[in-house]
Structure 1
Amino acid sequence: MRLIVPLCSAALLIGCTQQSHETQYQAKFDEQLFRQDFKTLASDEFEGRAPTTHGEKLTIDYLSNAFAQIGFAPAANGSYLQKVPMVSFTPSEDQQVTLAGLPLQYRKDVVLTSRHDVPEVAIENAPLVFVGYGINAPEYDWNDYQGLDMKGKIAVILVNDPGFAAPDSGKFGGKAMTYYGRWSYKYEEASRQGALGAIIIHDTAPASYPWSVVENSWTGPMQELADNGADYRIAVEGWMTKDAAEQVFKASGLDLQAASERAVHGPIQLPLEQTAAIHFNNHAEYADSYNVVATLKGTDAAAEQILLTSHWDHIGKDDSLDGDQIFNGAMDNAAGVSGLLALARQMVAAQKAGQPLKRSITIVVTTGEEQGLLGSRYYAAHPLYPLQDTVAVFNMDTTNVFGRTKDYTIIGKGQSELELYLEKAAGEMQRTATAEAHPESGGYFRSDHFSFAKYGVPAVFAGGGSEPVDQATADYREKMEQLGQGCYHNTCDEYHEEWNLAGTFEDLTVYFNAIRQLGNSQDRPGYYPGSEFYQLRPATGIKLK
C-alpha cells in the first residue's frame, strides 16, 4: 500500500498530517523539543522516576513548568499537582520461604511481598491449594473457588486465563487475555475469597514477559494507595518460577503439567496436601506522590472533558545491582509523556490559530502506573472533573520508534465507539487500523486507560503497527528491536539518539486529529455489546462521515 501523505522530514518542524478539509489545522510536531523532553525524562539525573523519590520531584517540576510554558492551566485548585497518598511496603531481601518442604531462594525461585502495615510476615503450616486460574466469573459459568473455604490457606494460581491455553475452545476471550487473566485480578479475587495468600506461577509465554521482569518489578519498595482499604487483602502475595512450581507439585505427588491441563477444561480445586512457611520483615512508609493535571479549556462545551493520559513513573534505581543501577524507563514511559507534551503544544497552537475546541482537553500524567495503575485509579476515584462529563480517555504508554507503518494498532480493538475516531484519522493517512498482534498479553488491562474503563468511560490505547512502509524501514525496525531486546523493565531501557521518530509523529497525528474531531462533536461514545463495560456506558450508534 502506497502512503500518499508526505514523508516526515528531518527538519525541526515535522508536519505529519492528512486533512479532511483545507481549513483544518495541521499539526507541526517539533522534533527538537520532543527529543529534549524524551532525553531529559529518561536521563540518569531523574533516577528512574520512582514515586516519592527525588526522581519524582524532578519529574513533576519539569512537567509543571512545561505545561505552564505551553499554556495549559493548572487543574487542581490552582496547582498542576493532584496529591496521591501512597504507602510503600518494602519486604526484606532475607526471605525464608519453604513450600511443600522445599526451601526456595528469594529472587531466583520466588518473590513475595505484603501490602499490610506489619513489621513482620510470619506464616507457618498454611495449606497450599491449587485453584487453577483463580477465577470467579459468573458470565463464563466459571468459579475456581466454588464451595472452597480459603481461610488460612494459600492459593497457587496459573497466570493468564484458560483461553490462552485453548484459543479455539471458545473459553473466555480465546487468545486475547481477559481481565481475569491479569495478576492484579487474581490477588483481588483471592482476597475476596478470604485466602491468607496467593502465589502466581510464572510462565513466560502466557505472562508475555520473562522472570527478570517479575524480579525487577516485584522486589524493593512496592507502592499502594494509602486509602485503598487493604485490611481485607491477602497477607502475602507474589510469584514463583515454573521450575519451582514443578518441584512443589512433585513433592506433593502431583504433576504440574497434568494439573494445568485439567485447569484449562474447567474449574479446579486441588489441595496439594502440603504447607507453606513464610518469614520476612516488612517496612511501611507513608508519603504523597502526585499526578500532574493540566487543562486547556474548551468553548461551547467546556464542561465536557476529553482526557489524555500517560504515566510519568518508572521503577527507579536498585543500589544492590552491580554496574548500571538506574531503570531509566525511556520507552516506558518517557516516550509517552513526551508525546503528551507534543500534543499539548499543538492543541494550544491550533487554539491560537483560531481553531479552538468546543470541549476541554485535560492531560493527566499519572504516578504509580508500574505499581498497579495507582495514579489513574486515584484520579478515577477522585476526579477533578466529574466522570459523567468525561467523554473519553486517550492513553499513551510508550511510542513508536521503529519507523513508519502501513497499519495502526488499537490495543483491545473492538471495545468502544471511541475507536471510530482513530480508524478515521488513520484512514485519512492511508493507514489501516488493526488489533494488536499479541492480544494474549492483555494490553488493554495493563495501562492507565483501564482505570477509567472500569467506570464506564470510553478509553483507548493505540499506536504503532506491525507492517513497515518499505524494506528500508523493515531493516531499521529489526535493528532497533534487537537493540531493545530484553530491556522492558530493565536498566537498558535508555534513550537512543539514533531512533527515527517519523513513526512517532505519524501516530501523534492520528491522536491529534481524532481528538480534535471528538472535541468539536456532540457525540458521546460508548462501549460495544460484548465488552466488559457495555452496561456502564452503552454504545450509541455513532456513524462518522
Structure 2
Amino acid sequence: MMTRVPPPLFLISAFALAACASEAGGETTLVGKSPQLSAENLKRDTQVLSSDVFGGRAPMTDGEQKTIAYISEAFAAAGLQPGNGDAWFQEVPLVEVGVDESAADISFVNDGKPLFIGKYGIEQVIWTKRIEPEVNMADAELVFVGYGVNAPEKAWNDYEGIDMAGKVAVILVNDPDWETEGLDGEFGGRAMTYYGRWTYKYEEAARQGAAGALIIHDTEPAAYGWSTVESSWSGPQIEMDRPDNGAGRVAVEGWMHGDLAAKLFSAADLDMAALVARAKSRDFAAVPMGVTASATLTNTIRRQQSNNVIGILPGSKRPDEYVLYTAHWDHLGRCAPGEADEICNGAFDNATGTAGLIELARAHAEAGPADRSLVFLAVTAEESGLLGSAYYAEQPVYPLAQTVGGLNMDGLNILGRTNDVVVIGAGKSELEDILTAEAEAQGRRMELESSPEKGYFYRSDHFSLAKKGVPMLYAEGGVDIVGKGGEFGEAAADDYITNRYHLPGDEYDPDWVWDGAVQDLELNYRIGRALANSQDWPNWREGDEFRAVRDQSRAGLQ
C-alpha cells in the first residue's frame, strides 16, 4: 500500500459510485437489503494470507503462486466465474532488478577533492529501472531543482534555464505549498497533487534528460520515516517489462537521508534552509551545487510473469456494463534478510483488503446477479508502483469506457466501528453524494482529510484507473472509534506507521476488532450494488484533471 489517510489504519477505500450527475439522468437507489458479512471469514482469510507460509506475498515468488491460487479458489467457491475468458488470471509482464547492495554507495567530490561516501541503506537508497547488468553514473553534477515541478498550466518550471543532461536532480518531496494551513494555493495548498509524488519526480527528471534523481527524505511531507524508505526500496525492485528496457528512465533513482542532504549543501557552501524556502516560489531557479556524484549499480535481472486475479458475476440485464471492486494482493516478501523476523507479512496491508474483496464476492454472489456485471480484481505489484492496476488500465479485460466505476480496498479497519468517514480528494467527482448518504444511513459523519499533504489519492490502485478516466471515489473509515474517540484512533494509526507499516511487524493479531471492517464492507457492498442496479454513469466534476479523459472515452457511446 503506497497510501494512508489521515492515518493508514482505516482505509476502506470505498470508491463510491454515485447518483448525482449521470448520463441517464436517473437517481441511483438501493435495491434489497444489506448483506450478512462474516467477520470470521475475514479473520480466516487474513490470517492465512499473512502467514509465513505465504512468505510476504512478493510478486514472482512461490508466495505469489500460493496467493493467487488461494484467491482464485475462493472466488470459485463464492460462485464467481473466471474473469479473463476461461482464465482466472491476467498475466502481467514484470522484470525484477536486484542491485548488489554491498557496492551501491555514492561517492561525492567537490572541486576534484573527495568529500565523503553516502552509505547505502544508512544515508541513501538507490536503484535503477534500466534493465542492464551494470549502470554507471560517473562524475555527474548535482543540481538542486527545488520540488522538481514542471507545470506549464501553472506557469511553474523548476528546470527552466538549465540543461540537465548528465546531471543529477536533487529534489524535495511533496509540493511547494505543502506547509500551507488551508487548501488554497498553487498546488492545492496543504493537499498534495500528483506533482508532489515521488513517481512524478523521477518521471520528470527523466524527461529533462537527467542522469540521476535523488529525493531528499523528510518524514512529514513524505508521510513515512526513513525505515520505511529502506525496507520499501532496498532489495530487488520490480518494474513493468517494457520493450525499451527502461531506457527512458534516469540511470540512477533514489532517496537520500535528510542528514546526508545537509552535509552535501554544507560541503557546497550553500544555505540549505534558504534554498528550500526559495523553492516554494515560482521565481525559484535551479542551483548547480558544484558537487559531483558517482555510483555503479551491478544488477541481477529476472523476467517473469506475475498475475492479476479476476472473477466476474455477470449482469442479468446489462452484462456489458461493469462495476469494479479492487484490492492488491501483494506485499514486500522477505524485506529484512538476516533479521530474526525477515518477512514483511503485510497482514493489514493488504491481506485485510484482499480478504474484504473475497468476502464481497461471496456476498454479491449469494445475492445473485445485479443488472450490471460485477468484476472482482485482485492486482499484483501495488507496492512496486501500482504496476498490476496500471497494466490492467493499459490492457483492460473489460472496456474502460463501459466500466461505470469501482471500489478499492487497501487495508480494513481493525480497531472497531467508527463515527466518521473520510473522503480523499474531496470535491473531485460526482460520486460523493451517494457515499455521504450511505454513511449517514449508518449514522456516520463525513470528514475531510486531516493530512491532505500526504497525497493519498495518488497512492493506491484507484489512481491507475482514474488516470484513464474511470470515476473513482477514494474514502476510508475515520479515526473516531466508537466508545474510544479520535485520540485513540490517531494514536493507533501513528503507532502503525512508526512500527509496522512496510515492516516485519505488520502481522496478524488475534486481538484485532473486526466490526469496523464489517461496517465498512457493508458500505462498499451497498454502494456497488446500488450502482450495479442503476442506469447512471457518474463522472468527474467539471474542471477536474480526469474529466476530459472520461468525456472522450464515453463520446459516441451515450
* TM-score (norm. length: structure 2): 0.89
Contact 1:309 1:395 in 2 (8 A): yes
| Contact 1:406 1:432 (8 Å CA) reproduced | yes
1:404/1:473 contact within 8 Å kept: no
CA distance in 2, matches of 1:189, 1:473: 39
Unaligned runs of 5+ in 2: 1-27, 110-114, 553-558
Residue 412 of structure 1 is matched in structure 2 by: 425
1:96 matched to which residue of 2? 105
Aligned to 1:36: 44
Q: CA deviation at 1:480?
A: 7.9
Q: Evaluate the alpha carbon distance shift between residue 319 and residue 210 of structure 1 in structure 2; reply closer, same or farther with a 3 A threshold.
A: closer
Matches within 5 A, 1:103-182: 103-167=117-181, 170-182=185-197
Contact conserved, 2:30 with 2:530, CA < 8 A, in 1? no
> Which one of 89, 92, 101 corresponds to residue 84 of structure 1?
92
3-state DSSP class of the match of 2:416?
A: coil
Q: Which residue of 1 aligns with 2:407?
A: 394
The verdict on how the C-alpha distance between 1:420 and 1:58 changes in structure 2, with shifts beyond 3 A counting, is same
1:478/1:251 CA distance change after superposition, 3 Å: closer
Which residue type is aligned with residue 26 of structure 1? S
Please, which of 363, 367, 370 is the counterpart of residue 357 of structure 1?
370
Deviation at 1:422, TM superposition (A): 1.6
Residue aligned with 1:459, SS: coil
**In 1: Cα distance, 2:29 partner to 2:527 partner:** 14
Displacement of 1:364 in angstroms is 1.0
Residues 300-327 of structure 1: per-residue CA shift (max 9 Å, x gap): 1110111111100000004633210000
Q: Deviations over 1:159-179 (max 9, x none)?
A: 001121334562201111101
Q: Paired residue for 2:274?
A: 258
Q: Does 2:199 match 1:184?
A: yes
Query: Per the alignment, in what secondary structure is the counterpart of residue 165 of structure 1?
Result: coil
Alignment of 1:511-526 (within 5 A): 511-526=524-539
Where does residue 47 of structure 1 map in the other structure? 55
1:197-216 aligned within 5 A: 197-216=212-231
Whether the 8 Å contact between 2:30 and 2:526 is mirrored in structure 1 is: no
Distance in 1, Cα, partners of 2:489 & 2:431: 32
What amino acid maps onto 1:149 in structure 2?
A: D
1:472 Cα shift?
7.7
CA distance in 1, matches of 2:526, 2:180: 39
Give the share of equivalent positions with the same residue, in percent: 44
SS at match of 1:209: coil
Secondary structure of 2:177's counterpart equals helix
Residue aligned with 1:321, SS: coil
2:234 to 219, 224, 233: 219
Q: 1:155 to 1:403 in 2, by over 3 A?
A: same
> Is 1:392–1:418's contact at 8 Å kept on the other side of the alignment?
no
Higher RCO, 1 or 2 (CA under 8 Å, sep at least 6)? 2
Q: Distance in 2 between matches of 1:200 and 1:158?
A: 6
Sort the Cα spacing of 1:336 and 1:272 in 2 relative to 1 into closer, same or farther, 3 A.
same
Deviation at 1:473, TM superposition (A): 9.1
Q: Displacement of 1:405 after TM fit?
A: 1.2
Give the 3 Å change call, closer, same or farther, for CA 455–321 of structure 1 in structure 2.
same
In structure 2, what is the Cα distance between the partners aligned to 1:404 and 1:53? 36
Partner SS state of residue 417, structure 1? coil
Q: Distance in 1 between the 2:209 and 2:513 partners?
A: 51
Contact 2:139–2:292 under 8 Å retained in 1: yes
Partner residue of 1:3? Answer: none
Q: CA offsets per residue over residues 498-518 of structure 1, 9 Å max, x none?
A: 111111111111111111111
CA shift, 1:84, in A, is 0.2
Change (3 A) 1:278 1:528: same
| CA distance in structure 2 between the partners assigned to 1:274 and 1:477 by the alignment | 42
Contact 2:335-2:504 within 8 A present in 1 as well: no
Deviation at 1:98, TM superposition (A): 1.4
Name which of 360, 364, 367 aligns with 1:343.
360
Bigger mean CA offset, 335-344 vs 221-230: 221-230
The one of 265, 268, 291 aligned to 1:249 = 265
Contact residue 529 and residue 538 of structure 1 kept, 8 A: no
Q: Give how far 1:483 is off.
A: 6.8
Match of 1:6 in 2: none
Cα distance change, pair 370–97 in 1 and its aligned pair in 2 (3 A): same
Aligned to 2:291: 274
Distance 1:494 1:85 in 2: 29
1:102 is displaced (CA, Å) by 2.2
Q: Measure how far apart 1:536 and its partner are.
A: 1.8
CA-to-aligned-CA distance 1:99-143 (integer Å, 9 cap, x gap): 343211110000100111222222221111111001111222211
User: What are the residue-to-residue correspondences of 1:364-403 with 2, within 5 Å?
Assistant: 364-403=377-416
* SS class of match (1:45): helix
Retained in 1: the 8 A contact 2:231–2:336?
no
Aligned 8 A contact 1:161 1:181 in 2: yes
Distance change in 2, residues 1:477/1:209 (3 Å): closer
Aligned match of 2:343: 326
Matched letter for residue 210 of structure 1? G
Question: Deviation per CA, 1:230-289, whole angstroms, max 9, x where unpaired?
Answer: 211111100000100000011111021111100012243010011111123112110110
Q: CA RMSD in A?
A: 2.0
Gaps (5+ residues) in structure 1?
A: 1-19, 540-545
Q: Distance in 1 between matches of 2:170 and 2:507?
A: 36
Q: Is the 8 A contact 2:225 2:498 kept in 1?
A: no
8 A contact 2:479–2:489 mirrored in 1: no
Per-residue deviation, residues 427-481 of structure 1 (Å, max 9, x unmatched)? 1112122232211111000000000011111112322112222238975885686
Q: How far did residue 482 of structure 1 move?
A: 4.3
- Give the whole-Å Cα distance in 2 for the aligned partners of 1:112 and 1:478: 32
User: Which of 217, 221, 235 in structure 1 is aligned with 2:251?
Assistant: 235
